[in-house]
């Protein structure tokens, strides 16, 4: 079945096909949905969660087919953690992550080589990659005594890393690294930013020697939309209001927030609030809108942090048409858009991911 046949179907026809395919495939199928997915897709997920929860779900799944409604690196993780024994499907192969694309193996190897002209990174630096990264970067960490983290367990992962080596190279998200390091009491001056476009990251030898964390200069294009002024304006209008942000936000935004945590943490915290509470939430629009709808009948208001509409455009790529297309193909015995990580990358990447799953906050 070709995708073109589904592209012009309306959402309700796709819904009917998705529901029918799920009934036919039964326990052979598990649909995982990240919190940033749009409602039309999210409602079909068997399991929802943040990156950590979905990784754990994938690792424990015994379904033959795992359809990942999320982005590419998440499907790779599911394939790695299931030893390639399940068929992991990404409904739209163009669903990537612009932050993950800001680091690649060539640039990270170059960074490691340049660091070794100043210090001995294999003795002194733990490489830590955020789960939002390609599988070969997770493999790099696995091969160099490093580890993967998510926004849920970044603090515990950094503590683990510092118990082994004195410094951390953190990629690709500078903000998660900086916010977490600061929370652990590391001063900003000891967290330097590695500009991968400049020789030796644009840093002096002294800056490298004095650094506790070397932060890759990557960021999330969605979270960079949130500004400290948005929080100031909210507080003026709602003096008793509370602000909660994802740690991919800039340090200045997190500093002005009352709570900082992963998507799962944000949901848990806001859901525990009292009638009359007002929230400003600094994370992706689909999650915030869904949470606002859920909390409204409980007398809790939830406001999106930015005055402009910004959502994760790659998460948005997964639509009912793509989901119906891949499920109909599964029913017909054809696997489309399978994500397979070759063993020479999957094995060392699994080493770093297994450590991540052991080190949970
Ligand atoms: P979570 O780990 O909180 O789900 O975040 C993933 C992500 O991509 C946020 O931009
Ligand atoms: Fe990547 Fe940002 Fe989208 Fe998360 S919200 S998947 S970090 S681009």
List the structure tokens of 223: 């979270």
Q: List, for residues 227-285, the tens digit of each pLDDT value.
A: 999 999 999 999 999 999 999 999 999 999 999 999 999 999 999 999 999 999 999 99
Ligand index nearest the alpha carbon of residue 318: 2
pLDDT band at 176 (very low <50, low <70, confident <90, very high): very high
Q: Distances in Å between the alpha carbon of 331 and those of 5, 22, 61?
A: 16, 9, 19
pLDDT band at 309 (very low <50, low <70, confident <90, very high): confident
Residue nearest to atom 3 of ligand 2 (CA): 312
Q: Distances in Å between the alpha carbon of 87 and those of 28, 66, 97, 105?
A: 10, 6, 21, 26
Kindly give the number of the ligand 1 atom that is closest to the alpha carbon of 151.
2
The stretch 331-341 carries a mean pLDDT of 98
Nearest by Cα to 330 from 30, 15, 71, 47: 30
Q: List, for residues 189-211, the tens digit of each pLDDT value.
A: 999 999 999 999 999 999 999 99
H helix or E strand, kind and range, residue 80: helix 72-81
Tell me how far apart the alpha carbons of residues 146 and 126 are, in angstroms, rounded to a whole number: 5
List the structure tokens of 221: 């294009």
List the structure tokens of 22: 């799920």
% of the chain exceeding 90 in pLDDT: 96
| Residue 269 DSSP code | H
List the structure tokens of 314: 């790659």
The stretch 291-315 carries a mean pLDDT of 95
Strand partners, 171: 129
The position carrying tokens 């590695």 is: 194
Q: Ligand 1 — pocket residues by CB below 6 A?
A: 50-51, 132, 150-151, 220, 248, 262-263
Q: How many CB atoms lie within 10 A of CB 51?
A: 27
% of the chain exceeding 70 in pLDDT: 100
Nearest by Cα to 140 from 165, 171, 119, 117: 171
Give residue 52's pLDDT. Answer: 85
Q: Ligand 2 — pocket residues by CB below 6 A?
A: 71, 97-99, 132, 220-222, 248, 284, 312, 314-315
Kindly give the number of the ligand 2 atom that is closest to the alpha carbon of 97.
1
Ligand 1: centre distance to CA 72 (Å): 13
Ligand 1: centre distance to CA 263 (Å): 6
Tell me how far apart the alpha carbons of residues 276 and 278 are, in angstroms, rounded to a whole number: 7
Contact assessment for residue 87 and residue 64, using Cβ atoms and an 8 Å cutoff = yes
Tell me how far apart the alpha carbons of residues 110 and 105 are, in angstroms, rounded to a whole number: 8
pLDDT of 310 strictly over 90 = no
Q: Is 185 helix (H, G, I), strand (E, B) or coil?
A: coil
Look over the chain and give the mean of its residue pLDDT values, rounded to a whole number: 97
Q: List, for residues 51-91, the tens digit of each pLDDT value.
A: 889 988 988 999 999 999 999 999 999 999 999 999 999 99
Contact assessment for residue 189 and residue 204, using Cβ atoms and an 8 Å cutoff = no
Q: What are the residues whose beta carbons fall under 8 Å from the beta carbon of 205, sequence distance 6 or more?
A: 118
The stretch 208-218 carries a mean pLDDT of 98
Kindly give the number of the ligand 2 atom that is closest to the alpha carbon of 100.
1
pLDDT band at 361 (very low <50, low <70, confident <90, very high): low
Kindly give the number of the ligand 2 atom that is closest to the alpha carbon of 284.
5
pLDDT of 360 strictly over 80 = no
Ligand 1: centre distance to CA 50 (Å): 6
Ligand 2: centre distance to CA 221 (Å): 7
Q: Is 88 helix (H, G, I), strand (E, B) or coil?
A: strand
Q: What are the residues whose beta carbons fall under 8 Å from the beta carbon of 255, sequence distance 6 or more?
A: none
Q: List, for residues 147-159, the tens digit of each pLDDT value.
A: 999 999 999 999 9
The side-by-side arrangement of strands in the sheet containing 29-34 is 47-49, 29-34, 65-69, 87-89
């Amino acid at each position: 079945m070709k995708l073109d046949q589904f592209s012009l179907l309306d959402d309700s026809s796709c819904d009917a096909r998705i529901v029918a395919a799920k009934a036919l495939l039964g326990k052979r199928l598990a649909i995982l949905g990240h919190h940033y997915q749009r409602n039309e897709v999210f409602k079909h997920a068997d399991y929802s969660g943040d990156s950590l929860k979905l990784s754990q779900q994938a690792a424990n799944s015994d379904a033959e087919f795992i359809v990942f409604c999320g982005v590419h690196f998440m499907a790779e993780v599911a394939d790695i953690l299931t030893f390639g024994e399940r068929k992991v499907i990404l409904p739209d192969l163009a669903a990537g992550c612009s932050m993950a694309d800001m680091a690649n193996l060539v640039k990270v190897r170059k960074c490691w080589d340049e660091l070794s002209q100043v210090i001995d990174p294999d003795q002194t630096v733990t490489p830590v990659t955020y789960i939002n990264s390609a599988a070969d970067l997770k493999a790099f960490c696995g091969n160099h005594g490093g580890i993967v983290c998510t926004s849920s367990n970044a603090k515990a992962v950094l503590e683990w890393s510092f118990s082994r080596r004195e410094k951390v190279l953190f990629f690709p998200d500078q903000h998660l690294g900086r916010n977490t390091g600061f929370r652990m009491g590391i001063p900003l001056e000891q967290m330097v930013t590695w500009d991968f476009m400049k020789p030796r990251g644009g840093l002096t030898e002294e800056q490298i020697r004095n650094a506790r964390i070397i932060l890759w200069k990557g960021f999330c294009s969605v979270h960079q939309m949130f500004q400290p002024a948005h929080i100031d304006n909210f507080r003026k209008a709602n003096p008793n209001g509370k602000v909660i942000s994802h740690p991919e936000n800039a340090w200045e935004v997190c500093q002005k927030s009352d709570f900082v945590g992963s998507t799962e943490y944000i949901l848990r915290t806001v859901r525990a609030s009292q009638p009359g509470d007002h929230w400003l939430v600094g994370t992706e629009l689909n999650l915030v809108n869904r949470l606002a709808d859920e909390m409204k009948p409980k007398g809790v208001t939830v406001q999106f942090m930015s005055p402009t509409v910004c959502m994760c455009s790659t998460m948005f790529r997964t639509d009912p048409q793509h989901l119906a297309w891949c499920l109909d193909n599964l029913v017909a015995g054809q696997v489309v858009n399978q994500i397979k990580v070759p063993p020479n990358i999957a094995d060392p990447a699994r080493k770093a991911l297994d450590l991540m799953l052991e080190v949970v906050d």
